Amino acid sequence: MEKDNKNTELDNTDKKLHISDVIPRFSNLSEDDRSGIHEVLFQMDILELEDNDKVESYYDQLPDEIKKDGVRWGFQDSVVRDTMYVWFEKNVV
């Protein structure tokens, strides 16, 4: 049996990744997801509406678990938004 060295790592794992296991960079988020994060920050008086360029730095601070929920349910989802609000309130404001 011949081995394909390029695929060895993938062949040795049985785990299948779910989309929520992969945390995207901010630039790969949909416009709706970026808006969801921005809206939370705006409602908290952290950012102004015209501060689109600053949202990424706040996204980068979020814990991976919140990002995974955002990927799975969307950053517009009320539970994800509430979770972000609480986290930002405790860690940023």
- In the chain (93 residues long), the average pLDDT of successive 10-residue segments reads 45 57 87 96 94 95 96 96 98 87
Rounded to whole angstroms, how far apart are CA atoms 85 and 39?
10
pLDDT recorded at residue 18: 60
Task: Give the DSSP letter of residue 47.
Answer: S
Tell me the pTM.
0.76
CA atoms of 44 and 77, how far apart (whole Å): 17
pLDDT of residue 19: 54
pLDDT of residue 6: 45
pLDDT of amino acid 14: 62
